[in-house]
Structure 1
């Protein structure tokens, strides 16, 4: 049986050497142009996500919300850690805080300009969640919890989901804001708003999950 595998591998290798590479199908540029024209944003990926396939995006947001609720439900019966250890050496703290600052700036940039350049709400939310996670690694868990409660983060997360669903439904039934001038910051109709709402939802949801896992599983 071993010789059969060896013969098959040799035959496959010869096939790669002899047979020419199949020419990659060239994407029809008219499709991209049509997406850009319909959505009013240069980033055709954002146009597809927030207009052509908005149903998928709605359910992606809902699935992420269910994942957060599931983490809260599954860990609610566990006992919180008595002692939670954070990084104490100064170089690690400085690097983590610097990384958090860079990630937060990148997240804001992607959220605001995601309809103009590569990136978008989900990427912006991940960058924001990364910044929050880095801060949590170097800060007191009680301090993080107090800020989370003081700013009613859980409420804002739910509000962002509801506003996103309302705007998405209005878009699906045909209501659209003026597209504006293509390529400018204020353009694309409702797409930039949906972008920002997704970024807020993912960032705040990541904050919730980070606090839950630190509370019940510790950091290190």
Structure 2
């Protein structure tokens, strides 16, 4: 069998070595320029995520939602921990709060302008979740839990998912908003709205997971 494997590998190597590679010649537009014109956004990655492979993006959001529900289900029968590990020294608290402020500003920037420059909803949500985590390791978790319940964050998260799925489904069925001028903040039709919804979902979902792990594990 080893000889067969070696012969197969050698044959594949020779094929790659001597087979000529043909490169398609695109006369008028490059692939990136085609995506930009087709989606109406300057960031071609956002065009791919929220248009060319929107089916994948819908299920990515759904999978993230299921992961949060799974974490809540698996930890629901455990006893809450009595010890929560946090930073208490003043330098660490100041640095963590400063980092949270910067991460929040980055999250807002990526969510609003993700269709114009590198970034987007998922990156913005991760930045927002990082900000919440930095606050969590320097603050009483009961305070974060109180804010979470007071502002109905769980409900807002689920509503954002439903709105995203509805808008994405309308887009897949051919519904479009005016693209506007490529490169402007109002360009891209529905893509900026989808960006913000994904950012909201990922950020608030991260908040839920952070609270779960602090409550039942005592750490992030």
Q: TM-score, normalised by structure 1?
A: 0.87
Q: 1:134 to 1:178 in 2, by over 3 A?
A: same
Q: CA deviation at 1:85?
A: 3.1
Q: 1:213 to 1:27 in 2, by over 3 A?
A: farther
1:188 aligned onto 2:188: yes
Secondary structure, aligned partner of 1:219: coil
Secondary structure, aligned partner of 1:184: coil
Distance in structure 1 (CA, Å) of the matches to 2:175 and 2:150: 36
Q: Show the counterpart of 2:70.
A: 70
Q: Show the counterpart of 2:163.
A: 163
Secondary structure, aligned partner of 2:30: helix
Q: 1:135 to 1:30 in 2, by over 3 A?
A: same
Q: CA deviation at 1:149?
A: 0.3
Q: Show the counterpart of 1:149.
A: 149
Q: Does the CA contact (< 8 Å) of 2:82 and 2:218 recur in 1?
A: no
Distance in structure 1 (CA, Å) of the matches to 2:24 and 2:49: 22
Unpaired segments of 5 or more residues in structure 1?
1-18
Q: CA deviation at 1:33?
A: 1.1
Secondary structure, aligned partner of 2:164: helix
Q: CA deviation at 1:83?
A: 2.8
Q: Show the counterpart of 2:206.
A: 206
Q: 1:172 to 1:138 in 2, by over 3 A?
A: same
Q: Which runs of 4+ in 1 moved over 4 A?
A: 25-29
Q: 1:53 to 1:27 in 2, by over 3 A?
A: farther
Q: TM-score, normalised by structure 2?
A: 0.87
Alignment map for 1:26-175 (pairs within 5 Å): 30-175=30-175
Q: CA deviation at 1:26?
A: 9.5
1:178 aligned onto 2:178: yes
